[in-house]
Structure 1
Amino acid sequence: MTDKAEKAQSTYPVASVMSPSNNLVKADDDGVVARLEEMGYKQEMKRNLGMISVLGLSFAIMAVPFGTSTTLNIALTDGGPVTILYGWIFVSFVSLAIAASLAEICSVFPTSGGVYYWSAMLSTPKYSAFASYLTGWLGTVGNWTVTASITFGGSQIILAAATLYHEDCVPTKWQTCLVYWAALLGSLLINIFFVKYLDKLNTVCLYWTGISVVIIITLLSMADHRNSGKFAFSHFDATNSGWPGGWAWFVGLLQAAYTLTGYGMVASLCEEVKEPAREVPRAMVAAAAITGLIYLLPINFVLPDIQPLLEVASLQPMPLLYKTVTGSPGAALGLLFLILGIWVFATIGSLTAASRCTWAFSRDGGIPGSGWWKVVNPRFGIPINSLILSTIVCALLGLIYLGSDAAFNAFTGVATICLGCSYAFPVLCSLLRGRKIVKDAPYSLGKAGFAINVITVVWISFSIILFCMPTAIPVTDPSSMNYASVVFAGFSSIAAIWYAVNARKHYHGPTLSAVRMESPLA
């Protein structure tokens, strides 16, 4: 054993992660706090979140009715009903594999560090720091861009609602950006001054999502024309995409992949959950897939002519779809109100998760200026500086829209790619080391774990290429380009420069963790 390992073991009590007899899931607060200390951190946040609240946050971040609505134009462009329906089913299965893989690891290492901590613990000592740094940046950028995409999509829908009564109204880019920044500011203020009510807000989100079934009932009951079962289940038209049919279907999977990609973000709240090793994994694998299927299949049955939907100036066809199907701008506005309600919860929840991810990574010095971002405000008991940083980064990302109409696609693409990569890395590390560290996990995948982990890594590797593709070709001007690769490269460059200048010398990952040193695989 190295001197470094002996020092870590003398600092924290040793409790092996390899044996279930150690009872990693403790019901009492002292046990949870002791486990956190074994992982190298002191308890700074209040543990006031239960299972229902965490589940509500998970639903808020994924925001299925809202997420599928804001990305509807992608699926309509790249295949229509077949892409909407079977794309959702396919991505639901692979997302369940990813969520289950992460939940298994989270049950062993329930900390707000999430993916970057898991990568450090599951990789070999030689590469631990670099693996942690790489995964930490991917996860943090993914959290930021998810927050940006959720907030931006809702801002577009708000302005698109104005066209329900004034069809000649075309929102300007500046108007969209101003609404976007106002929404970010509102979310920031709620996260700071109403933090004690976030638990209740997350719970209300569950009920609001359930009430939103009214949207489907209203559309089916008011529609003058309903499509046949053949159309709903088998109509495929990719002529608007320019891609070959099969590839267009894959490109259109971004609608489902983006909506379902937020399950891992709830790990950032581990240190605010009463029993994180049990409750957070459960929230990760909650079946948002069923919610999406209930919402999307009826849409296929009432879907009007697709071409006008794709020609709306806001790039958000759902308001026009509601108006066309119901024949009433008032009814359409009422349905949008339900969608925008989900958006409010999603915006608040995603910024909460992004700030906690930023705070956790800063504790180990992963972000420039970490000394500022890791501070927990003693008055509010939350990392306000990390909240402000996350808000500012998202606000700056909104400037992309001033140069490109495809900014929203860039946000969704980068969010899906970055979060996907950050999810895949710890799972890959676990696979390469024979899954020995997670074999006795409280939330165990058992004998199916190897196959489930392989599906996770293979799909995410393929999706990196897939979601850098433009929604439609040919790309005739800069405004129609998919800027996902540009944003991804920009953040990667910042991370690489910071690593070369500072992090490679000073960043060592979660080095104070006793559980890392005690593992026989270390």
Structure 2
Amino acid sequence: MRSSLDATADEALARMGYKSELPRNLSMMSILGLSFAIMAAPFGLSTTLYITLADGLSVTIIWGWVFVTLISIAIAASLAEICAVYPTAGGVYYWSAMLSTRRWAPLMSFIDGWLTLVGNWTVTLSIIFSGGQLILSAISIFDETFVANAWQTVLMFWAVMLFCALVNIFLSRWLDLINKVCIFWTAASVIIIMITLLTMADDRRDGEFVFAHFDASTSGWPSGWAFCVGLLQAAYTLTGYGMVAAMCEEVQNPHREVPKAIVLSVVAAGITGLLYLIPILFVMPNVEMLRNVASGQPIGLLFKTVTGSAGGGFGLLFLVLGIMLFAGIGSLTAASRCTYAFARDGAIPGFKLWRKVNPTLDVPVWAVILSATVDGLLGLIYFGSTAAFNSFTGVATICLSTSYGLPILISMIRGRQDVKGSSYSLGRFGYVINGITIAWIVLAVALFCMPVTLPVTPESMNYASVVFAAFASISIFWYFVYARKHFTGPPVSSEEARAATDLMTGTALDTEQAMEAVKKMPSD
């Protein structure tokens, strides 16, 4: 039986132009856990460690992480401010429409929707693919001659993707518990790894190495630019917090709980990452040995070297692999909800299928299948070029960052009028925080198209700009073939959407109009 809070949220959603089809069974703690899972600080920092080993080492690892954490908090706060006003599964693409004028709303919504969709798909792809690589790297802990070939890597990636898809489809009612368990698993893992490394290490680095050592000699870049390129490690890890806006329709009081979860998850991930990185730097073995790991994933060798045994190294790596599974499940959940929401507005080819919600499972099953299938097919690029695949990390960061930046920029251009009444208003600091956000995103787009090291070869080239252009071409083609005449963006005006938020916050008393809207909505 639905609670009165569920009913009010559903009525408010109706005023925003949508029929509630997903059960509101997720709590704020669950959304916090989901966002925390997607960022998966220990896992993300482990799989991208090769970047900062070349581009600056300790200074980039520690202070780059602190810098990007502070920037990410500013972005998260800017998104939370808007989310509190327009809490729907459409997330940033819905916000872009609501914050724009009526003339520009469809185009802004369409552009941001595709940025969000591609960002969600590619961040899921990069998480699960690097997870498959990390699983295979565990074998090399016991057999140092083992190097996974392309087929083994892709098959492992498909296996992990299939597992995450099956959990999302058949165990969706347990997602609330899974997301909460993720918080405790991650916290416990960081504590165990920290204690184990510091107590078992035979040799320890000094504080100067951990907090002040800078070495970009192998990057080929000038020192300052090497530090900037190395920020990709932190930026990639701290990038998925905005994805959980797609879960607004599965939460009670989404206008209050989801914005809170967005900001708190970044703070929690920032602290967790720092607690994970500092012990690793204190016990870091020979850096050149880590740079030359054949699998490109040095964390397993680091754990093995410090603990002095293959079993000990695998035990610590197992904890990180557990975090990876939570991240894979969570990212696919958010990606499928983003796909479902965008299809609901007719913006994706075949949208009538992707927007369907299975009435038995209460899950947009076809949206899950589409997200997993697109990622599975993109993984085939690994057969042609490992560098091309690695570019998806950059694409995910670029797409999500720009998708976050567009509604924030629109809000600034229009005088931040729509967010002045937000329950999470940034107040007089709004322009400054929003401005810092936009400046960082512009820099990030340029940075994350750069190769990690110089000189550039076909194998080391960063193809992020090429992949980004390919997705942009597809979206532009679809816009002129179909969307230009048929896509109108969200079905209500910003005034109607704000009235819906007033209903949730208790400032609107009349629900008759909303109930009538629910009755008129099609069942599919």
Does the pair score TM above 0.5?
Answer: yes
Residues of 1 paired with 2:151 and 2:217: CA distance? 32
Q: Is 1:498–2:478 an aligned residue pair?
A: yes
Residues of 2 paired with 1:372 and 1:513: CA distance? 26
Residue 5 of structure 2: aligned partner: 28
Residue by residue, what CA displacement relative to the aligned partner does 1:96-125 show, whole Å, maximum 9, x if unpaired?
000000000000000000000000000111
C-alpha displacement of 1:516:
5.2
Residue 421 of structure 2: aligned partner: 440
Q: Is 1:227–2:205 an aligned residue pair?
A: yes
Residues of 1 paired with 2:247 and 2:323: CA distance? 20
Identity of aligned residues (%): 60
Residues of 1 paired with 2:76 and 2:342: CA distance? 21
Residue 460 of structure 2: aligned partner: 480
C-alpha displacement of 1:517:
7.9
Aligned pair count reads 493
Counterpart amino acid of residue 302 in structure 1: V
Structure 1 spans left out of the alignment, 5+ residues: 1-25
Residue 349 of structure 1: aligned partner: 330
Name the SS of the counterpart of 2:380 in structure 1.
helix
Residue 512 of structure 1: aligned partner: 492
Does the 8 A contact of 2:16 with 2:491 survive in 1?
A: no
Residue by residue, what CA displacement relative to the aligned partner does 1:423-480 show, whole Å, maximum 9, x if unpaired?
000000000011011001011111111111111111001100100000111112x221
1:372-391 equivalent positions in 2, closer than 5 A: 372-391=353-372
C-alpha displacement of 1:407:
4.4
C-alpha displacement of 1:409:
3.0
Does the 8 A contact of 1:151 with 1:343 survive in 2?
A: yes
Residue 154 of structure 1: aligned partner: 131
Residues of 2 paired with 1:122 and 1:38: CA distance? 17
Does the 8 A contact of 2:62 with 2:278 survive in 1?
A: yes
Residue by residue, what CA displacement relative to the aligned partner does 1:397-418 show, whole Å, maximum 9, x if unpaired?
1112112222453121011000
Does the 8 A contact of 1:138 with 1:422 survive in 2?
A: yes
Residue by residue, what CA displacement relative to the aligned partner does 1:316-354 show, whole Å, maximum 9, x if unpaired?
110011111111111100001100000111100100000
Residue 396 of structure 1: aligned partner: 377
C-alpha displacement of 1:483:
1.7
One of 263, 271, 274 as aligned partner of 1:293: 274
Q: Is 1:120–2:100 an aligned residue pair?
A: no
Residue 511 of structure 2: aligned partner: none
Q: Is 1:109–2:86 an aligned residue pair?
A: yes
1:81-96 equivalent positions in 2, closer than 5 A: 81-96=58-73
Residues of 1 paired with 2:327 and 2:4: CA distance? 29
Q: Is 1:236–2:214 an aligned residue pair?
A: yes
Residues of 1 paired with 2:36 and 2:232: CA distance? 18
Counterpart amino acid of residue 128 in structure 1: A
Q: Which runs of 4+ in 1 moved over 4 A?
A: 516-519
Q: Is 1:312–2:293 an aligned residue pair?
A: yes
Counterpart amino acid of residue 233 in structure 1: F
Name the SS of the counterpart of 1:406 in structure 2.
helix
Provide closer, same or farther for how the CA distance between residues 115 and 273 of structure 1 changes in structure 2, counting only shifts above 3 A. same
Does the 8 A contact of 2:74 with 2:433 survive in 1?
A: yes
Does the 8 A contact of 1:38 with 1:514 survive in 2?
A: no
Provide closer, same or farther for how the CA distance between residues 319 and 407 of structure 1 changes in structure 2, counting only shifts above 3 A. farther
One of 358, 362, 368 as aligned partner of 2:343: 362
Residue 409 of structure 1: aligned partner: 390
The more displaced of 478-487 and 195-204 is 478-487
Residues of 2 paired with 1:112 and 1:162: CA distance? 40
Residues of 2 paired with 1:350 and 1:408: CA distance? 18
Counterpart amino acid of residue 202 in structure 1: N
Structure 2 spans left out of the alignment, 5+ residues: 500-524
Residue 61 of structure 1: aligned partner: 38
Residues of 2 paired with 1:140 and 1:251: CA distance? 25
Residues of 2 paired with 1:27 and 1:241: CA distance? 58
C-alpha displacement of 1:377:
1.0
Counterpart amino acid of residue 265 in structure 1: M
RMSD over equivalenced CA pairs, Å = 1.3
Does the 8 A contact of 2:340 with 2:367 survive in 1?
A: yes
The more displaced of 295-304 and 510-519 is 510-519
Q: Is 1:78–2:58 an aligned residue pair?
A: no
Provide closer, same or farther for how the CA distance between residues 517 and 189 of structure 1 changes in structure 2, counting only shifts above 3 A. closer
Residue 405 of structure 2: aligned partner: 424
One of 242, 246, 254 as aligned partner of 1:268: 246
| TM-score between the two structures when normalised by the length of structure 1 | 0.93
C-alpha displacement of 1:290:
0.8
Residues of 2 paired with 1:256 and 1:140: CA distance? 22
Q: Is 1:40–2:17 an aligned residue pair?
A: yes
Counterpart amino acid of residue 477 in structure 2: I
Residue by residue, what CA displacement relative to the aligned partner does 1:166-202 show, whole Å, maximum 9, x if unpaired?
1111110110000001111111111111111111100
Name the SS of the counterpart of 1:497 in structure 2.
helix
Does the 8 A contact of 2:86 with 2:497 survive in 1?
A: no
Does the 8 A contact of 2:86 with 2:498 survive in 1?
A: no
Does the 8 A contact of 1:403 with 1:479 survive in 2?
A: no
Does the 8 A contact of 2:168 with 2:333 survive in 1?
A: yes
